Homo-oligomer: A and B are copies of this chain.
Amino acid sequence: MTHRSRLAGFIIDCETEDLDAAADFWSAALGSAQRDKERGKYVVLDAQRGLHVEVQKVEHQSRVHLDIETDDIEAEVARLEALGARQIRKVRSWVVMEAPTGHRFCVIPAETDDFNAEATAWQA
């Protein structure tokens, strides 16, 4: 079986009571218009080179986390576990993982237009 994955983008997690102000800063800092939002939860910024970039309100410490998109969540989580990552929890359609370097990241369903052409194919 073959599945595919690649970097989808990154999420700017903000421990803040003022998501609008956080999104305003990052939108202006990166020169990316605000495209889509769910009030009080997240603001999606216009893509930088096809990346998904999002400012999100969180309860934990502020950080940047990477998203890896895939056409097979289960196979990709298993691949990343074999590399040394561990599964933290499932959240709706995605899985939160922790790298051996301590970084949290998410494995999410592939959504980008050119995913099939550009993602890496992994043989199980």
Contacts and interface: CB of A to CB of B under 8 A. Distances in A.
Interface stretch (A27-35, A36-44, A88-96): A27-35
- Interface magnitude class on chain A: 35 or more
A10 B64 contact: yes
Nearest to A24: B83
Contact of A63 (B25, B26, B103): B103
A102 B66 contact: no
SS class, residues of chain A in contact with chain B: mixed
B7 A30 contact: yes
Given A48-B7, A49-B50, A99 B29 contact: yes
Residue from A12, A49, A62 having most chain B Cβ neighbours under 10 A? A49
Contacts of A68: 29-30
A49 B99 CA distance: 22
